Structure 1
Amino acid sequence: MPEQILVVDDERDMRLLLRYQLEQEGYAITDAPDGRAALKLLRECTPGLVITDVRMPFMSGLELLREVKQVLPATEVIVATGYAEVETAIECMRAGAFDLIRKPFDIHEMYSCVARALDRYRLNASADLVRASQSFFATNELDRIPRAIVEGSRGLMAVDAAVLMIQDVQGRLQVAHASGLSSEAEGALLVELGERVVLALPLDRTPALVAPGLEDRRLGSVRALGAGASAILYPLAVGERVLGVLSLLRRDGLRILGKKDLDRAAVLASHVVLALENGRLACQLASSERLATLGQVAAGIGHEINNPVAYVLGNLGFIREQVAALRQGGQVDLQELEQAVLEARDGALRISDIVRDMRSLARMDDEAGGWFDLNEAIRSALRIAGVQTARRAYVQTELPEGLEVRGSPGPVSQVLVNLLVNAAQALEGWDGASKEIRVTARREADMAVIEVRDTGPGIPPEVLSRLFQPFFTTKGSTGTGLGLSISRNIVRRLGGEIGVSSVPGHGSVFTVSLPARPLAEVREVPVVPSRSAS
C-alpha cells in the first residue's frame, strides 16, 4: 500500500496543491480543513505522516501535533507555517515535530522533507518489529515464549489487549497468554471469535478485521466487544497445521484498527509462527539431548552394572553351596552365610540405584515439584557420569546434608551430568600436573550453590562468551551444541541461574544457583566432606 499522508490546512488552495503534488509522487493523500476534522480522520486511516499548518481555527497546529503524538506516537508530523517564529519552532520540536517548513515553501524542499520523514517512520516501524521479534527469540523455552509474544505484539501494534491462543490436542483453542484484558468475559469472547476463524480456515485463511462499520462474515455480531472497539484475529498456521490465533484489540474509537494495521499484523504473525515453531523444535531437541546424554554414558553403564551383578552372582553361588551342604547334614558357618546374603543384597541395591538414576534422567520430570534433597540429584549425577570421569579424573566432593531445593532430581541431575561429562572431556589428553574434578555445594543466603570445578586447560575468552548459545560447540561433529543451552533453560525454569568462569591453563568453574528451602523450615547441619577416587 502507498504511504498515507494527512494534510491539514484551513486554506483550501494549499490543501489541493499539496494533494496534487504529493499524489504525483505516489502517496495516498487525505486532507482536513482543521485540527478537529483531522482527529476524526485518524479513526479511518493511520497515516505515516501528518503535514499541518500552525494557525488554524478551533485547534492550532501545535495542539494537533500533541494530539497526534498521543494517539499515534509513531506518526511523523511536519509543521508548515508562514510565521516562522523561534518560539513556535522550539515548541513544535519539543512536542515531537519532525521538521518545521516556512510558507511559501519550495516544492522540492517539501518533497525532500516528506521523503525523509517517511523514511524515519518506516525505519522506526522496522526497528519496532525487530525489537519485538528479538524478544520472541530471546528464549527457546516453550513455556516463556507466549508471554514474550503477547507483550511484544501489544507494544508493536499499540493495542489495548493481546491474546495468544494455541490449539490443544483436541483442536480447541486455549489461552497461552493474555495481557490487557478488562474482564474474563472479554477474554472468553475473543476465544470464541478465534474458534470461528479456525473453523472457517478450510474455506478462508485470511485474518479477520472487525471495526465499527466493518464486520467479518465469519464472526457474526461483535457488539459485545464494545462501541468503537476494533480487533484483528490472525490465524497462525504452518501449511495445513493450525497453531492457534493471535488476537489484538483496541477499545479506543479514536484509534480504530485498519488495513494498514492488518499489513503490519501479517509480518508480526509470521514472526510469531517462527517463534512458536522454534520453541517446539527446541523442546524436542531438549528431549533428544537428554537421550544423547544417556547414550553417551550407556556404554559404561553396562560395565557399571556388570560389577555388582558378578558380586551378586558370586555370593548367590556361595549361598547355594552352603544350602546344599546343610541338606546333606554338613557343617555351615551361619555368620558367613548371613554375610553373603547381605553382600548379595548390597549388590542388588547398587543395580537398583543405577537403574533408578537412568530412569530419572530419561523421564520428563515435573520441574515445579516440591522440595527434595539436593544431594540426591548430585550423587545420582556422579554415579551416571562416573564411567566418563573414572578414566580421566580424580573426583572429590564436599556436600552438606539437609540442603533442599524445589523441583525434582531428574532435571538437576541432567544439568550436573552434562557439566561432569564436559569436565571429564576437557581433561582428556590434558598434560597438566593434576586431573581433578571437584563438586561442592553450599548455601548462600536463600540460594543453593553447586560448583563443578576442573583442573583442565580452561576456556578461551572468545569461546567463553558463546558457551550457552544454542548450537555452539567446540567438539566438531561429535557435539550438538545444545547441552549447556538446555542446562541453562532447565536451571532458569527452576528459578536459578548458571554461570562459568575460566582462566586458560588453570581450569574452569561452572556454578549453578538454585532457590533453597528457607532456613526457617529446615534444621542446619554441618558439612560432611566425602571423596571418591576414580
Structure 2
Amino acid sequence: MLDLRRAAAIIFALVGVLPLLLFVFFLWHFDLAARTEAQMGLFLALVVAVLGYAVFHRMVARISSLARAVDVAAPVDATGSRAAADHGAVAGLGPVVEISELANAFSRMLADLRASTERLEDLVFKLGTLNEMVEMASKIPHIQDLLADVLERTMRAVHARIGSIMLLDRDRQTLKVVAARGHSTEVLGGPEVRVGEGVSGKAVQLGEPVLVENIETDPRFGKPNDPKYGGGSFICMPLRVADRIIGVVNLAMKQSVGGISTTPPFSRTDLQFLNTLMTYTAYAVDNARLLEEAQDAARKLNEVVEDQQLRLTLAQQQMIQAAKLSALGELVAGVSHELNNPLAVLQGSVELLTDEAPEAMKPHLVVMQRSIDRAGRIVQGLLTFGRKRPLQRQRVSLRRLLDQVLDVSAADLRLARVTVETEVAPDVADIWADDHQLQQVLLNLVTNAKQALADIVGERRLRVSIRALDGERVSIVVEDNGPGIAPELVPTIFDPFVSTKGVRGTGLGLSISYGIVREHGGHIAVQSRLGGGARFTIDLPVGALEPELPPPSPVPAPAMSGALILLAEDDESLREILRGRLEQEGYRTRSAASAEEALGKLNGEVQMVISD
C-alpha cells in the first residue's frame, strides 16, 4: 500500500515532469532547441516545475501528518479495515494509507455521532417519560391503575421486556407482586418474598438498588418463590418515601437461558434514571394508597354513621311507640278495671238465673253467657296490654317453648295446609322470662300468620328461627309468605284495635304481644311489603338466670262452710251479686261499702275478707 507522499510524487511526475519531457522532445524534433527563446522557456518551465513540486510536497506532507493525527483511535476490526481500504483506493494507484486513515476516522466519527444521537434520543425519551409520570401520578387516584401504568411506562423507558412491582406489608415483613408484565398469570397474588430473601428482599433490607449483569450467574435467583425473569441484565429498584421503603420495582431484559443476548445490559444511566423516576413514583403510589385508605375509612365511617342514624331513628320510633302505648295502657287498664265490675255483676246474674230460669229461657242465657265471656276476654286482653299483672320469671328454653307452641297449633296448621319450617341455633341460651306470656306472644304470631296465609293459592309457608345475637340477647323471627301488611298499617300495627282481619279480629293480639315483649326488656319490629309476606323480629335479653326452686307443697284448705266472710266492695250491684252467690253456697256474709266501714266490721269472728 502506497503512502500519500509516494502517491503525490507519482502524480507530480505524471502531471508535471511528463509534459516537460514531451516539450523538450518536440523542441529537439523540430530543431528548435538551439534557439535562445526555446532555451529560456525550457528553463522557466523547469523552475516552475521544481517550485510546484516543492509546494505540492509540503502540502502533501501536511495532509499526511493531519491524517495520521486523526487516526489515533482504537484499532478497527478486520471488517472495518477492509471497508476503510476500499474507501482509500485511488484509481490507477491503489489504496493510499492516509486516505484510508481519513476514511476510517470519518467512519468512526459517524458511528460515534450516531451513538451519541441515540443516547440523546434515549435521554429525551426518558425525560419525557419522567414528565409524563409526574403529570400522570396526580390524575390516577386508583392505586392498581397507577401501578400498572407506572410499570408499563418504566419498562418502555429502559427497554425492559419483563417486570413487576412488589409492595411491602410492613406488619408481616413480606413483599407481594401487585403488578406484572411479561410474567405468567400465577405471579400476581402468588407466593410472597420475605424481607432479606432473594434480590428483592435484599434491596428492601439494604435500602439500595441492585444491578445484576447476568441473572444466570447470580446465586440469588432461581428461588421457588421468586418470579422468573429468564436471563440477562436485571435491576431491582426500591420505592422509597422519605426514610420508608414501600416496595420495589423489578426489571429484566429476559433472554432465553444459554442464548446470546443482542440487547445491551442495563447501564448506570438507566439506574440513575430509575432512581429519579421511582422517587416520584413512590410518593404517587403512597399517596394513592393513603387516598384509598382514607376513602375506605370514610366509607366505613359513613356506614357506621348511617347505621347509628338508623338505630337512632328506630330507637326514637320505639320510644314514641312505647310512650304512646304506655299512655294507652294506663288508660285501657283503668277502663278495663271499671268494666270488670259490671261484667262480674252480669256474670253472677247469669249464673243465678241459669239455676232458676225455665228451660225456655236457658238458650237466651247461653247466648248472654257467650257475649259476657267475649267481653271478659277483651277486658283481660286490655289488662294484659296495660301490664297490670307482674311477670312470673323463670328459666325458659326457647327451643322447648317453640315446640309447645307448635304442638298447640299443629292441628290448625295442618288443616290450613301450612308448611312450618323451624331453625334453632345450637348456641341459643336459656333466658329469664315468663314462659306463659312468651308462649302467648309466639302463639299470637303463629295464629296471625296462619290466618294471613288462608287466602294464598299455592304453597303456604311459615318459618320460625331462633338465634343468639351475642352473649346477652337472642332473636326470634316469625315470617310467612302471605299477602303482607298494607303500608299504611305498618306504623300503627302494634296499636290497640288495629287489625288486618277486619271484623274477624279484636286488634289486641299484637298490642298484647308488644306489651309482653316490652315488659321483658326487649322489642318487637315488623318488616313487610304488600304481596311479599310479613316478618316479625323479637329481640329479647337473656337476663340473669336464677336457680329453679322446687314448687311449694300444696297446703290443704281448711273447711270454710258456714264461715263469716266480709265483702268490701264499693259497687253495690257487684256486692249484692257476690253476697247472694256466697250465701247460696252456705257462707255467712257482712257487707261494707268503703274501707273505713270494713275496718269497723272486721273482728275475730270474720274468717275471710273479699275486696277489690
TM-score interval, smaller chain: 0.3 to 0.5
> What is the TM-score when the length of structure 2 is the normalising length?
0.34
> What is the TM-score when the length of structure 1 is the normalising length?
0.38
Greater Rg over alpha carbons, structure: 2
Select the structure that is richer in helix: 2
